[in-house]
Chain A
Amino acid sequence: MNGLTPEPVLELTGVMHAYRRTVALRGISMSVSPEEVVAVTGPSGCGKSTLLHAAAGIVRPQGGSVRLLGQDLGALDETARTVLRRRRVGIVLQFGQLVPDLSVLDNVALPLLLEGHDRATARTAATDWLCRSGLEAETAATPAELSGGQAQRAAVARALVTGPSVIFADEPTGSLDTTGGELLLDLLVGAARERGAALVLVTHDNMVAARADREIRLRDGVVEAVTVLR
């Protein structure tokens, strides 16, 4: 390393992945620097979600390699990938990611609890993030009792509670209206920039993509264009 270009937190090289009938990714190479906010855009079905899942180690791509936070994901087993994700990665999906029968507070505290922290410590940290997400009144509610926007903000709080180095978000505003989406993005992008975490944001919304440092456009499983926005 020469100090000028820091080692990327995420590096994909020739990543390929096919489902039973469709080829979703046909050799994707890209990298994300620390603290960078990257938007991944493209038409429906172009492979954005698959890319995100492969990058986060949720899906094992059939070809190519993924380096996440200095680790070759292909060389890690399922448990090691889960632990890496739990400690240093935050994930926000479009909807339905909270554990249904746990309170909002416990949902947000869960990564810390699984990591072996005390209940009190975990709950304090979770409460902080819930306050910041404007959910201080909803801590005792169950996910079913939240509005879509509230649930997404709780998911963001959970993704941030461990102080991750990389955050992956797949259409986090996809099920929200404009105001709700703005609120959520402020929280997500704001926290990432403030904490110096890299953010990979999948979206098909140009307004959302405009908040990134760089936009990577996919088409049909390949990178079509890369635009530096700031």
Chain B
Amino acid sequence: MRAHTLRLLAQPTAAAERGRFLLVTGSIAVAGGLLLVGQRVARLYMDTDGASSTYSYGGLAPSYGGLAPYVTQAGLRPGVVIGAVLVTVPVLALALQALRVGSLARERRMASLRLAGATARDVRTVAAAEAGVAAAAGGLLAGPAYLLCWLMLGVLMPAGLRLVPTPGPLDLLAWAATLLVAAAAGAIAGAVVQKRVVAEPLSVRRRIGPQPPGRANVVGLVAGLLLVVFGFGQLTEAPGGGEYLLLVVVLVGLLLVAFTIGPRLVRRLGGRLQLRESAVDVLVGARLHVDPQTAGRVAAVLVVCGLALGVEALMVSDLLGRDIGNGDDLSFYLTGFGMAAVGVLLVVVVAVLTLLIGAADQLLDARRPLASLVALGVDEQILEKVLRRQQSAAAAPAVVLGVLVGAAGAAYLSGDGALAVGLLPTLLVAAVAGGAVGLVTRLAAVLLRPRLRAATDPENLRVA
């Protein structure tokens, strides 16, 4: 396809398309901004404060630029960097979910393009261009997003609590790289996502359903497990200088494992639910069984969030249980934990947003069966319940599981009776986290009500 034709066909014109475009652009901008913050903080070891000889290599004077000790101390800095990078994971998952979202308008458009003589490959090229442009726009906005982070977490914070240092010229280079990577990744993702949508001249079908257990999945799982075992083993052996690196290793491994087995576990869960008595359970189970991808990925993110919360719960209770004596030290730790908790909270919100978008998409897919269910006399309230349970069925257990495993891991690492002190707080955190996720999914179901109403419109019975 020639460039002028591609340009003509890849413009997002329908309102729903523009929404999709904005969601992709927005989440890439946020993720890119966070990554730019991460690299800036990581580059602090190149800064000199004029007195660095007194501090260990890579460390800065405590008052340097009014920065918080979490970034000036060489030993703590990687924690902030890891945090920034980890928060981008669910944000990127959100972007991917936004790409998957179809709309009636889009489906009609793809089918009509095919009828006009576009090959399946042409349609994929159009999708890649659309996504690439949206992602590139996100990459472009990553710069302003970074500056905004600097303003909010750097300039406006009181001295001593600032997390983002003043931007430097090297940031321009990093920004350019972000832009390029975003555009390329967006185009690839757009093409891959379109592969799951079969646009034929007369209709559009989606290749939903169980993905074949691809080799990449198995490799990911094995690699993830190896990383976890290796990292964890080393952590208990020698908690010395390299512990942050090991922590990253463990976390990456956990993410890999969670993302590869998340969808499978959700599919299993769906199968189990289908065997139950209640109609709601059966309907929920069927949805999860047929399309476990979104719920699985979100569950993966939530397990890792839960892990972070669990580790924190244990460490905080350990800290409070111990008699530190020095109030400054205590507030130093608690502020750190507080910041981490805010990060986790952000991630949870993003994850639930992803679920919401995924559910809207499923409603679109299922509009015909849904409309016929209503026509058969299944009332809308039951469907709303199905929708709600579909969100929370995997999400709530995932976050609870994460908290418990995280606390157990932390207890194992810190040893000497940490578990005994932390057990009650951990259970409390688990209950609160699970309940919060349940509550948010309830809210999500309310937000989806108009979509549900549209999907159950009897008019849909006539849609092929």
A residues adjacent to B (C-beta < 8 A):
53, 58-59, 78-79, 82-83, 85-86, 91, 93, 96-102, 106-107, 110-111, 113-116, 118-119, 158
* Chain A residue with Cβ nearest B201: A58
Pairwise interchain contact B118-A100, C-beta atoms closer than 8 A? no
Question: CB-CB contacts of B29-41 with A at 8 A, as 1s and 0s?
Answer: 0000000000000
Taking the complex as formed, is B115 at the interface, i.e. its CB lies under 8 A from any CB of chain A? yes
Interface residues of B (CB under 8 A from A): 1-2, 4-5, 8-9, 11, 13-14, 105, 108-109, 112-122, 200-202
Given contacts A113-B8, A114-B5, A116-B2, contact A99 B119 (CB under 8 A): no
Could you list 7 examples of A-B contacts with CB < 8 Å? A78-B119, A82-B118, A85-B117, A93-B115, A100-B109, A101-B11, A114-B122
Q: Please name all residues of chain A whose beta carbon is closer than 8 Å to the beta carbon of B112 when the two chains form the complex.
A: 96-100
Contact: A97 with B115, CB < 8 Å?
A: yes
Measured between beta carbons, the chain A residues less than 8 angstroms from B109 are 99-101
Residue in B closest to A120 when the chains form the complex, CB atoms: B4
Given contacts A53-B202, A99-B112, are A113 and B119 in contact (CB under 8 A)? no
Inter-chain contacts of B200 with A (CB < 8 A) = 58
Specify which of A59, A78, A100, A115 is in contact with B117 (CB 8 Å cutoff). A115
**6 additional A-B residue pairs with CB within 8 Å, beyond A79-B121, A91-B115, A110-B117:** A59-B202, A78-B119, A83-B119, A91-B201, A99-B116, A158-B116
Beyond A58-B202, A100-B112, A101-B13, whether A79 also contacts B120 by CB under 8 A is yes
Q: Report the separation of the CA atoms of residues A106 and B11 in the bound assembly, to the nearest whole angstrom.
A: 13
Tell me which of B11, B117, B118 has the highest count of chain A C-beta atoms within 10 A of its own C-beta: B117
A17 to B85, CA, bound (A): 54
Instruction: Say whether, besides A79-B119, A82-B119, A83-B119, A99 and B2 are in contact (CB < 8 Å).
Output: no
* B114 surroundings in chain A (CB, below 8 A): 82
Closest Cβ–Cβ distance, residue A76 to chain B (whole Å): 12
With CB as the reference atom, state the residue of chain A lying closest to B117: A86
Residue of B whose beta carbon sits closest to that of A87 = B117
Looking at the assembled complex, report how far the CB atom of B198 sits from the nearest CB atom of chain A, in whole angstroms.
Answer: 10
B14 and chain A: residue at smallest CB distance: A101
Give Cα distance in the complex from A86 to B201, angstroms: 12
Given A58-B202, A113-B8, A114-B5, also A100-B121 (CB < 8 A)? no
Residues of chain A within 8 A of B13, CB atoms compared: 101
Q: How far is the CB of A200 from chain B (nearest CB, A)?
A: 16
Q: Which residues of B contact A115 (CB under 8 A)?
A: 117
- The answer on a CB contact under 8 Å between B117 and A114 is yes
Closest to A83 in B: B119
Interface centre among B13, B115, B122 (most CB of A within 10 A): B115
- A110 — which chain B residues lie within 8 A by C-beta? 113, 116-118
* A160, chain B: closest CB distance, angstroms: 13
- Please indicate the chain B residues that have their CB under 8 angstroms from the CB of A91 in the complex: 115, 201
Q: How far is the CA of A113 from the CA of B11 in the complex (A)?
A: 16
Q: Across the A-B interface, give the 10 residue pairs with the lowest CB-CB distance, nearest first.
A: A86-B117, A101-B13, A113-B5, A110-B116, A99-B112, A111-B117, A82-B119, A79-B119, A119-B4, A58-B201
Q: Are A113 and B4 in contact (CB under 8 A)?
A: yes
Compute how far the CA of A58 lies from the CA of B14 in the bound complex, rounded to whole angstroms.
27
Report the Cα distance A116→B125, complex, angstroms. Answer: 14
